[in-house]
Amino acid sequence: YFVTSIGCVMIKSGGVIGRSWAMLFAGGGFQVKLYDIEQQQIRNALENIRKEMKLLEQAGALKGSLSAEEQLSLISGCPNIQEAVEGAMHIQECVPEDLELKKKIFAQLDSIVDDRVILSSSTSCLMPSKLFAGLVHVKQCIVAHPVNPPYYIPLIELVPHPETAPTTVDRTHALMKKIGQCPMRVQKEVAGFVLNRLQYAVISEAWRLVEEGIVSPSDLDLVMTEGLGMRYAFIGPLETMHLNAEGMLSYCDRYSEGMKHVLKTFGPIPEFSRATAEKVNQDMCVKVPDDPEHLAARRQWRDECLMRLAKLKSQVQPQ
C-alpha cells in the first residue's frame, strides 16, 4: 500500500472534532500525531478511533483506500508538543472554543514551527483576526471549520486572516480535497462565517413561528426534513431559485416582490425565552427523550442516515 509520509499534527484528541480529523487525515493516507494536554484523552481517542474504524470497515463505510489496520497504524499519540509538530505539514488545532486558550496555543506553536507548516484552527465562531493577531507566522494561519459530524458531513469552511497568504488557502483547500472533504472559501471573515449565518437565519424564523403559535415544533422540523431539506442535499438555495423559474433573472422578475413582502413581516432577533425553550423541548422529547442513551442512539441513527446519503450522492454525482 501507499502512504504519504507527511506528518499531520492534531492538537488535542479527546473531543469529537480532534478524533474526526485524525480519522479523516489517516483515511487520506497521512501520518497523524495526536497531542492533548491530558494523556488520558489521547489514550481514549486512540481506543475510540480503533473501535469506530473497525465498525466503519464492517459497514463498508471506511473512507480512503487503506484498510482500518493500515489507517490505524498511521495514527499515534504524542505527549510532547515540540515532538508532535516536528516534520508536520499541517497542524489542526481542536482545543475548546476559548479565545484566550487558543491564542496561547497559537503563540506557543508560532515559536516552534518553521515557515512551511500550516497552522489551522477548527474554531466555529472565533474571528481569524483575533485568533492569529500578532503571530510571526500569520501568513501560514487559517481557520478550517468542519461541520459536526465531520466524518459524515464533508463541508469545510476556509476562513483566512487578512494577512493569510493565498498559498496557505490553496494548500489547505488541496489537503481538504485530498482527504475527501469539500472545502469552500469564505473570502472575508464575518461573524458566524457562512454556515452558521444561514443556520441561525433558519433557527431564528423557526423559533418565531413556534413562539407565535403558527406551527408546532415537530411540524416545523417536518418542513425541513420532508420539504426544504430534500432538495438542499443536492441543490442550494440559489440554484433552487435558478431552477424554479426560467433561470435566476426570471425568478427575480417573478418572485422578488413577493419575497420582499414576506421578508418585511420577519421580526427582530428572538429572545430564546425559557418558556419557548421548554415548549420546544417537550415536543422534541416525545420522539427523542433528552437522556444520554436516547440522544446517543439518535445521533447514531443520524450518522447512519448521513452515511447512506453520502453513498447516494456519490452515485448520482460522480466527482
The residues binding ligand NAI (CB under 6 A) are: 11-12, 14-18, 36-38, 41, 94-97, 101, 105, 122-124, 145-146, 148
Q: How many CB atoms lie within 10 A of CB 24?
A: 24
| 137 vs 145, beta carbon nearer ligand NAI | 145
21, 10 Cβ separation under 8 angstroms: yes
Q: Long-range contacts made by residues 126-131, C-beta under 8 angstroms, separation at least 24?
A: 126/97, 126/99, 126/102, 127/189, 127/191, 128/159, 128/160, 128/161, 128/162, 128/164, 128/189, 129/161, 129/162, 129/189, 130/99, 130/103, 131/99, 131/102, 131/103, 131/106, 131/161
Handedness of CA 236, 28, 150, 109 (dihedral sign): negative
Q: Which is nearer to ligand NAI, 90 or 241 (CB)?
A: 90
16 vs 248, beta carbon nearer ligand NAI: 16
How is the chain split among helix, strand and coil, in percent rounded to 5?
Answer: 55, 15, 30
What is the closest distance, in whole angstroms, from the C-beta atom of residue 93 to ligand NAI in the complex? 8
- For cell 487558543, what's the residue? 102
Closer residue to ligand NAI (CB): 36 or 74: 36
At closest approach, how far in Å is the CB of 282 from ligand NAI? 24
> Is the Cβ of residue 98 or residue 304 nearer to ligand NAI in the bound state?
98
Least distance to ligand NAI from the beta carbon of 44, Å? 8
Q: Which is nearer to ligand NAI, 12 or 139 (CB)?
A: 12
Q: Which three cell numbers stand for residue 237?
A: 438555495
Shortest distance (Å) from residue 122 CB to ligand NAI: 4
State phi, psi for 193 to the nearest 5 degrees: 50, -140
92 exposure class (CB count in 10 Å sphere: 0-12, 13-18, 19+): buried
CB of 196 to ligand NAI, least distance (A): 10
* Residue at shortest CB range from ligand NAI: 15
Report the residue number, 23 or 210, with the smaller CB distance to ligand NAI. Answer: 23
Cα(29)–Cα(269) distance, rounded to whole angstroms? Answer: 45
CB of 158 to ligand NAI, least distance (A): 13
CB of 18 to ligand NAI, least distance (A): 6
